[in-house]
């Protein structure tokens, strides 16, 4: 059955691919982008792909934009996908960068969900899918502010799932690993504006181990994640947590377990190649 689906952060990456993919399958897709020029670009992309997309301006941090979307659209599925990444060591990152990351990645998806949930609960049906991250389940050094926002989002999603049990509303997360959408690359660059590694509080060997961007050359094909997001949007009774690719789950679990044992001068992070 065709559904009405609103997806935020639809101008690029997972959001764009998922929006176009769902539209190709016949769903009514409201693709939200946060500034006007991106609307033009996305409409041109939809025309090339020969799909119908309803593109709207929705800056998820703006109350007026959120309320407009909630009052004008009765959606079956809200895919809360918009996000940003601020990087840099926790002991040194400017607090304004931290606040921005939380405004976009935590407060905005919570407020957007609160805007749509009354309609969903009233009709006894609906689904909210939060784009989290593998970083919502573990902490990534020098991206810990970003991963902490995803930890917070996980907690919000878990709370919603528990508290809305029996209402007919489904809550779930998608947790991508490291995919080559450009998001990780741009996020890694954010610290270059303000951070001086020569004056950092972190040890040089730690800095070198976790700020080497050569690992970004090994990122996964985004199609794997996009296909999973399309599947999760279409299916009924999804798993609550959906880590993609599934091959990283053992590493995530081992890292979580190690946090219970680590002591002073022991890293929490486990090298996935050691498993």
Cβ atoms of residues 77 and 32 within 8 Å: no
Q: What stretches of 164-274 show up as alpha helix (H) in DSSP?
A: 183-189, 204-211, 222-234, 249-258
Q: Which residues pair with 243 in a beta bridge?
A: 175
Residues designated as active site: 146
Structure-block tokens of residue 103 = 């405004």
The span from the CA of 197 to the CA of 50, in Å, is 48
Structure-block tokens of residue 182 = 């450009």
The span from the CA of 264 to the CA of 79, in Å, is 40
Cβ atoms of residues 191 and 93 within 8 Å: yes
Indicate the DSSP class of residue 240: S
């Amino acid at each position: 059955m065709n559904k009405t689906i609103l997806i935020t952060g639809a101008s690029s990456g997972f959001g764009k691919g998922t929006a176009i993919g769902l539209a190709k399958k016949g769903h009514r897709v409201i693709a939200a982008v946060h500034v006007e020029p991106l609307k033009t670009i996305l409409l041109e992309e939809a025309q090339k792909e020969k799909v119908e997309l309803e593109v709207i301006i929705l800056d998820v941090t703006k109350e007026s934009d959120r309320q407009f979307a909630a009052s004008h659209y009765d959606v079956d599925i809200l895919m809360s996908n918009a996000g940003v990444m601020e990087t840099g060591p926790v002991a040194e990152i400017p607090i304004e960068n931290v606040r921005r990351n939380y405004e976009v990645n935590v407060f905005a998806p919570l407020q957007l969900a609160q805007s749509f949930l009354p309609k969903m609960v009233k009709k006894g049906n609906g689904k909210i899918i939060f784009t989290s991250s593998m970083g919502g389940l573990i902490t990534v050094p020098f991206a810990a502010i970003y991963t902490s926002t995803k930890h917070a989002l996980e907690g919000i999603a878990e709370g919603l799932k528990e508290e809305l049990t029996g209402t007919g509303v489904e809550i779930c997360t998608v947790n991508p690993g490291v995919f080559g959408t450009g998001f990780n690359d741009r996020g890694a660059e954010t610290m270059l504006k303000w951070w001086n590694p020569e004056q950092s509080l972190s040890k040089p060997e730690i800095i070198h181990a976790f700020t080497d961007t050569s690992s970004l050359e090994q990122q996964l094909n985004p199609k794997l994640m996009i296909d999973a997001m399309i599947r999760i949007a279409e299916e009924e009774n999804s798993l609550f947590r959906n880590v993609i690719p599934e091959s990283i789950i053992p590493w995530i679990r081992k890292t979580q377990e190690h946090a219970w044992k680590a002591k002073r001068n022991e890293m929490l992070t486990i090298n996935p190649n050691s498993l």
